[in-house]
Structure 1
Amino acid sequence: MAVNFSESMTKENLMRAFAGESQARNRYTIAAERAEKEGMLTIAEIFRYTADQERAHAERFYDLLKDLSGETIHIDGSYPVDQQDSLTGLLRAAEHNEHEEFADVYQTFGKTAKEEGFSEAASAFFQIAEIEHIHEQRFGKIAEMLESGSWYQPQTASKWMCTNCGYIHEGNQAPPVCPVCRHDQGYFIPYQMACYKID
C-alpha cells in the first residue's frame, strides 16, 4: 500500500532510529571513557569505533528524512539507561541493546517501510540491522573474554598486537609493557580482533 511519506509510520520510525543511534553513540563514548579510566585502552577504542559507526547510521536515517526538512516530528520511544558497575556490565548491556535493534526493532521498522512502499528506507533498516548484529557479536565476545580472563591470558599460546606501535607478541599472555614502545598492557589487543591484520 502506497502511503504519503508525511503521514507514514516510516517517517516516525526513521526519527526513532535517528534518536536511538544518537543515544547509542553517546552511551558508547561514555563507556569508552570508563574503559580508558580502567586502563583498557583497546576496549575504549572499540567503543569509540562502534560509536562512530552508530553516528554513520544516524546520519543515514536522518538523510532519509530530508524531504521533511523544516518540520518537527513528534515521536514516543523508550531508550535504555545503562549505568553499569563494571566494564563487562557495559559490554553486556551494549550486546543486549544491539541484539534488540538487530532482531526486533529494525526488522519491524523495515517491514513497515516495505509495506508502506518506502523501499530505500526498508533497505536501510535491514542493512543496518545486520551491522548491529556484528556489533552485538563483538561486544559479546569481548565481554566473554574479560569474564573468562582470556583477554590477556588465554588457555593456550596466543598473539596480541600493540595498538600504539604495531608490535606483535606471541606467548601465553600479553606483556605488561610493550618491549618496543614501552606503552602498558592496556594498548594490547588480542590479534584475532585487531584491525587490518594480515592472515
Structure 2
Amino acid sequence: MAVEFRNSETKDNLMRAFAGESQARNRYTFGASLAKKENLYVIESIFTFTANQEKEHGEIFYNHLQELVGEHIHVDGNYPVDLQKDMVGLLRAAQHNEYEEYEDVYRYFGDKAKEEGFLNVANSFYMIAEIEKTHGDRFKKFADMLEKNELFVSNMKTGWMCLNCGHVHYGKTVPEKCPVCDHNRGYFIRLELAPYQNK
C-alpha cells in the first residue's frame, strides 16, 4: 500500500522519533551532569556516550524528512519526565525508556513505514531499535552494579582501568584515588568494560 510521503503516518512517526531522540539526548546530558556532581565519572561518560548516539539517531530520522524542507509537521507524543533524585533511579528510567523504544515504538514505526512503502525508513527504525536495546542493557548493567554496590567492588580480584590516564589497578576494590593521576575512584571501570581493550 504505497502512500505519498507527505500524507503518510511515517512522516509523522519520523518527527515523533526525532523529538524523542532529541529529548533523550537532553535527559542523558542532564544525567551526565548529575553523575559528575556525584563524582561518578564512569556513569557521566556512559550518559554522554549514549547522548551522542541519540543525537545521531535524531539526525538520521530528521534527514528522512528532506523532501519536506520548509514545512511544519504537527505531531503529538508522550515523553517521560525523569527527574529522578538518585543515580540508580535515573539509570532505571533510562533503561525503561530504551527498552520501550526497542520493544514497542520503533518496531511499530518500522512496520508502518514498511506497510506504507518506505523501506529505507523502515530499516532505519528497525536497526535503531536494536541499538536502543543495547542502550537499555548498558543502563541496566550499571544500575545493577550501583544497586549491589559493585561499581567499584568485586568479590574477586579483577582489573580496573582509570578512564583518565589508563592506569590499570588489580584488586577487589578500586583505590580512593588513582596513584598515577590523582583522579578520584569515580574514574575507574572494570577492565572488561573499559573501552578499547584488546581481548
* Aligned match of 2:75: 75
Alignment of 1:1-199 (within 5 A): 1-199=1-199
Shift of 1:191: 1.4
C-alpha separation in 1, matches of 2:42 and 2:148: 18
Q: Distance in 1 between matches of 2:159 and 2:55?
A: 32
Shift in Å at residue 131 of structure 1? Answer: 0.3
More deviation, 179-188/12-21: 179-188
SS at match of 1:84: coil
Gaps of 5+ in 2: none
Q: Give the counterpart letter for 2:126 in structure 1.
A: F
Consecutive aligned runs of 4 or more in structure 1 exceeding 3 Å deviation: none
Give the unaligned 5+ runs of structure 1: none
CA deviation digits over 1:171-190, x for unaligned, max 9?
Answer: 01011111111111011112
Once residues 145 and 192 of structure 2 are traced to their aligned partners in structure 1, the CA distance between those partners, rounded to angstroms, is: 12
Q: Give aligned-pair identity as a percent.
A: 55
Deviations 1:75-121 (A, max 9, x none): 01000000111000000000000000000000000000000000000
Q: Distance in 2 between matches of 1:164 and 1:120?
A: 40
Amino acid at match of 1:94: A
User: C-alpha separation between the residues in 1 aligned to 2:129 and 2:72?
Assistant: 26
RMSD: 0.6
The CA distance in 2 between the partners of 1:186 and 1:41, in whole Å, is 5
Deviations 1:8-40 (A, max 9, x none): 000000000000000000000000000000000
What amino acid maps onto 1:33 in structure 2? S
